[in-house]
Each structure stands twice: as structure tokens, then as C-alpha cells.
Amino acid sequence: MDTLPELTPDLLIAYDRPGPRYTSYPTADRFNADFDVAAYEDVLRCANAERPGDPLSVYIHLPFCESLCTYCGCNVVISKSERSRARYLERLALEMARVAALLPDRREVVQLHLGGGTPNSFSDEELATMMASLLTHFHLAQGAEVAIEVDPRHATVARLEHLYRLGFNRLSMGVQDFDPRVQASVNRICSFRQVKSLVDGARALGFRSVNLDLIYGLPFQGLQAFQRTKAKVLALRPDRIALYSFAWIPWVRPQQKKIDPETLPSRDEKVAIFCDARATFEADYHAIGMDHFALPGDELSLAQTAGTLRRNFQGYTTLPVQDVLGFGVSAIGDIGGAYAANAKRLHAWNRAIDAGGLAVERGVKATPDDRVRRYIIHELMCNLRLDHAALRERLGVDFEAYFAEELRILRETKELAPLIRLADGALELTPLGRLFVRNVATVFDRHLRDKRADRPMYSRMV
């Protein structure tokens, strides 16, 4: 059986290049304005007619934050205005009603995710209002996965209790780092004691899953200091850990101009932090892709072992849901392979909703070739192998004939050949390939070959 080679800095640097994260295919930089509100309404009607009764996944974007974290790459609005939040919720209710009207036979929700922004910057009463609006038009299935992103700085156990009563059963807390100097440098100060209180409280209340998010590559991070953060995270024993790479792109994210590049770890230091963290977490957790870890008994671990893991804009999931509805500014929906992205700017989203319609600004409808490549990338990202017979049965494609050029590239490219294994009618990822699955996925991404004047900025693989 193959084993993972030692993760040396030289090895990781060889694979460290920009590339999509593949939460969608085609990727979001391929969305265009030709896919508009009318196109979105058409695919919703088709989804209702072709898949009546099928359950839905829902993502709701709540963009408001009380202060700006300097590393942030999310779509946020800095505001403490109660009126702004109230008007936003009123418009969300209108958007939900208009989408629901196009889906009269599709109302069951098996997955709900609130992201931001800082969803818990909304008060208990405001979140109750939002949930009431959702449940006016849709209903949560029994056992539905109901998740919310939580900023621990603005949370208390009492607030978690309110969330639990509203039906939330999963929490994702953005810790990033426990080192005080790092926290101060990115304007996100939160003590270990506070996070521990929330984790313990959530478990006592009965939350099904408590997850912690970390970021490596932040200002003033070093190997020894991050080891202390790791130890604290392991002491909390979250159900899942996300270990994200910080991308310093101040020309895209102006708030990052407040970060002095001299305070960032060097590439070698950043790689060393990642190698050490991954080795530590893998001792107790099951690695899901490159940057996620789940306890062995967690649903994600069991699904990956069974070959039933899925991936959408919310990340990895165990739910085989074909259609995702996105509500709110910058939210993205996925309706049977057609992607619909709402306006990124709050004023544009407000204006569209106030005009009596929906706020889709761009998107793309997958071609037959896109659907084949999406399936392959999805299987590799989630289940670490592609079964040729399953592809032929599902989409009528002979893998070796259709992808002869991609197979040649994989076999003949020095860096890529160690990532894959071809045997027994399947393309499988080696242990090293599981770590660098995004590198393999790029080979099957036809759109990356297109010449473009506006080259997109992707995050790096490490």
C-alpha cells in the first residue's frame, strides 16, 4: 500500500501554485452576465417540474460585521445599524417568497447554512425573524443539518441556547489563531477561555457538531507559536477542523493593505507551519482533502470511506442534494448544474429586490462537457477516485477515450505522475495525490486552457 512521503518544504513548494478550490465547476470566475434573472427563473421552473419533491439546500448570506478583520476575504458590510439589519431581513423575506413561488413542489430543506459576515452580529430577535421568514415558505426536514458561522467574540452560551432553540445544530467558529500578537495584528482578539466556554456550552446544549476554523500564514505567525495554538485546539477536540491558507492580495482586498508584508511568515515558514499542523491533526483526525479534518466517527469521515462524500458552496457535506438556493447579497445558488450569483454589492442587491424581482447578476449554465468534468472533479475532490464504469453508466462517457490528452499529461508530467494511480478500471489518488487533489483537478479543468485578458486570481495550493 502506498504511503505518504515526508512532507518537506521542497516537496510542498513544488506543488504550491495558484488554482481554483472547485466548490463549483465551472468555477465562479467563469460566471457571466448573460445568465440573468430570467435565466435563473427558467432553471428554477425546470427544477420544480423535473425534480418535484426533491429536497433542497439553502445558503443565506448575512453580510454585516461590527468591525473589519484585516485578513478577511469575505463579502462583508461594516455596520452596527439596527435599521440596516432590519431592512436587510425584510428584503431577504421578499427574495425567499419570490423564489418559493417558482418552486411550488420543492419546499423541503435538508441543509441550511448561515454565513457572512458575522451571522451572530444579528440579535436573537432578528435571527428569529429571519428563521420565521424562511419557514413561511420552506420547511426544515426532520434531522436537517442546520449550521451557522459564529464569531466567538460576539457569542455567549445564552446566545447559543437561543440558536439551538431556533433549530441550529451545527456551529462553525472562526478562531484563526490563539496567539495574542497574531490576533491583535488582524483585529480579531478572542481568548482561549472564551472559546472553551462556548465549545463546552454548545456540547452541553446538544449541538451535533462544533467546528473550529484556523488560518495559517497570518502576520507574526511562527512554527512554535502555532504549535501552541494547535495544542489548545486539540484540547477542545472539535468535531471538525478547517486549516485555511491566508492569501495576501491587497490589490483585491483593500483592508489587507493594513498588514505589513514584513510581518508575514516567509514561504518556507508558512509551509513548515502547514506541514507540522497537518501531521499533528492527522494523528487524531481523518484528513478530508487538503485542509479539512474530521474525527474518525464524524459523518464526513464515514462518508468519504463509503464513497458518498459531496461538496458544494458550503464545503464538504454528506447530503446528496442536487439543488442549492442562495439568498442574500453575493449568495450563489446551484440548480442542477446552473450557477446563479446574486449581486456582490449591497446597494445593487437592495435595488434589485426593491424593484420587485430577484438579484441574480451573473451565472452560467453547464454544458454537457462541463457536466462530465464537474463529475470527475467532484469524485476526485470528495471520494479520492473515479470509477470508469460509474462514469460510463451515469454520463455515457468512455473515460480513457474522452480524456486521452488529460491522461497523457498526468502520466508524463513529472510533478503530476506521483499523484495518481491507474488500476482496476479506476483513476485513484495516491496518498500524495489526496493532499494535492486540486493539482490533479486542474488537469480536467478545460476552462483553465482558455486565453483570457482578465486572468483570475486563485488562492495557492499550500
Q: Is the pLDDT of residue 1 over 60?
A: no
Crossing angle (nearest 10°) for helices 346-354 and 82-101: 50
My answer on whether omega of the bond before 117 falls inside 30° of 0, hence cis, is yes
Domains and CATH numbers, the chain: 9-326 (3.80.30.20), 367-446 (1.10.10.920)
Residue 375 CA: distances (Å) to CA of 154, 287, 295, 306, 390: 40, 21, 27, 17, 10
pTM for the model stands at 0.93
Q: Is the pLDDT of residue 232 over 80?
A: yes
Residue 119 CA: distances (Å) to CA of 95, 127, 173, 327, 404: 18, 8, 11, 13, 47
CB 386 within 8 A of CB 433: no
State the pLDDT confidence band at 453, using cuts at 50, 70 and 90. Answer: low
Compute how many other C-beta atoms are within 10 angstroms of the C-beta atom of residue 305: 12
The amino acid at 284: D
CB 337 within 8 A of CB 331: no
* pLDDT for the residue numbered 451: 66
Q: Is the pLDDT of residue 228 over 80?
A: yes
State the pLDDT confidence band at 92, using cuts at 50, 70 and 90. Answer: very high
User: Can you read off the three cell numbers belonging to residue 421?
Assistant: 494511480
pLDDT in tens, 126-158: 999 999 999 999 999 999 999 999 999 999 999
Helical (H) or strand (E) element with 61: strand 56-62
* pLDDT for the residue numbered 74: 87
